[in-house]
Structure 1
């Protein structure tokens, strides 16, 4: 009975025009749908997550008239939730390999919050992967200026510099990461050789200990007899 009521209520909510609802109701309903999206995302149900986030964004509208402080504060809250929702949507789109859509969604985030580092990083990485090097460099530099200690941004900028200089082809980098090591690949092989010889010595020593213990045991038995 409760489930039937809930599904009917959900249908009614989906048919409602958000502009006719109080902002507080839009926030409440929008967050319910955003949390539903998070639930699906955690279960790796990315298509369903995308749908839930899109529904949340439909409800979380910021086009309201009203000059009092209360309404402005609520509109700030709506904008913050829209940013969260859009970032989550972009992450789900990436999981589905919808790169163009993820790039568009990231731009939407930056329209609302120009200094959102998460979205700047995602947008820069996507542009770099798509070969839009100049645009990617500008975006990633903005992200680095805001968060200079974030290692992921440094790593992505390093990749971008290599791609710009022609030292790393996008497809080759994805298919053959070992090629990046070049002549420096030799030192990486030396420890494994040492390790294998170490294991063989351990095996020989182990066999020797077993042989010696057998010899000692046989000597003791002989002495007793």
Structure 2
């Protein structure tokens, strides 16, 4: 369970750092451990859509929607995807920027850079501290 949270947080960090391929790999790793993880499905679907892989993005987002039909963000992303497929392209809010350090998607990562691991740990600890504080108030 902790591994899933760390990997999900790491995917969020990769997205913040605009490392699309790394975020996609990390989201896929989460889905290997938990194929019904809605956060990972949503992130993977959005990333695939941004890369122009519409068919796989559609399948991934539909699976997320089936698991959580009331989540508005999934509906919004599916709507954007349909517009992209029909040629009514709006400019995506987030565009991945290629970096020199970015690895091809087909390669397995040789290791997680310590900066990203540290950032994921900070996010996880922050979430834990917040939940402890909120539960202590009740």
TM-score, length-normalised on structure 2? 0.65
Any residues of structure 2 matched to 1:106-145 within 5 Å, and which? Answer: 106-145=27-66
The structure whose RCO (Cα within 8 Å, separation 6+) is larger is 2
Q: Distance in 1 between matches of 2:37 and 2:92?
A: 28
- The structure that is helix-richer by fraction is 1
**How big is the shift at 1:96?**
0.7
- Give secondary structure in 1 for the equivalent of 2:70: coil
SS in 1 for 2:87: coil
User: 2:3 matched to 1:82?
Assistant: yes
Q: Secondary structure at the match of 1:97?
A: coil
What's the C-alpha RMSD, in Å, of the aligned pairs? 1.1
Q: SS of the residue aligned with 1:173?
A: coil
Gaps of 5+ in 2: 94-138
Taking the aligned partners of 1:113 and 1:81, their CA distance within structure 2 comes to 12
Q: Could you tell me whether the CA contact under 8 Å between 2:50 and 2:92 is conserved in 1?
A: no
Q: Number of matched residues? A: 93
Q: 1:173, CA displacement in angstroms?
A: 1.6
After the TM superposition, list the runs of 4 or more consecutive aligned residues in structure 1 that deviate by more than 3 angstroms: none
Q: Which runs of 5+ in 1 are unaligned?
A: 1-79, 176-225
| Higher gyration radius (CA) | 1
**Shift of residue 160 of structure 1?**
0.1
> 2:75 is matched with which residue?
154
Instruction: For 2:87 and 2:91, locate their aligned partners in 1 and report how far apart those are by CA, in whole Å.
Output: 12
Structure 1 residue matching 2:36: 3-state secondary structure? coil
The answer on 1:163 being equivalent to 2:84 is: yes
Q: Give the deviation of 1:174 after TM superposition.
A: 3.6
